[in-house]
Amino acid sequence: MKRRQVLRKIHLAAQAAQMTYTERQLSRHSGVTVGSVSTTVPRHREIPDLLAETIFKQLEPALGKDWWRA
């Protein structure tokens, strides 16, 4: 999955849940905050599916269980 797709999927889910979404550039990653839950997304063009799923799971407290599968 491409990095931009991961960020877009998180952003759209945050909008649908009416949660705040912020994205900031760190040294080698992008920091993403949804509500009060934060995670990082590496700056690679391609993010392996397993890593993308791990990132999505880290945001479950804010967006709900299995939110990325809906």
Mean pLDDT score, 6-25: 96
Question: 66 CB contacts (<8 Å, ≥6 apart)?
Answer: 60
**Confidence (pTM):** 0.93
pLDDT digits (tens, 9 = 90+) for 18-64: 999 999 999 999 999 999 999 999 998 899 999 999 999 999 999 99
Angle between helix 3-16 and helix 49-58 axes, rounded to 10 deg: 30
pLDDT for 70 equals 78
Tell me, what amino acid is at 59?
L
Tell me, what amino acid is at 49?
D
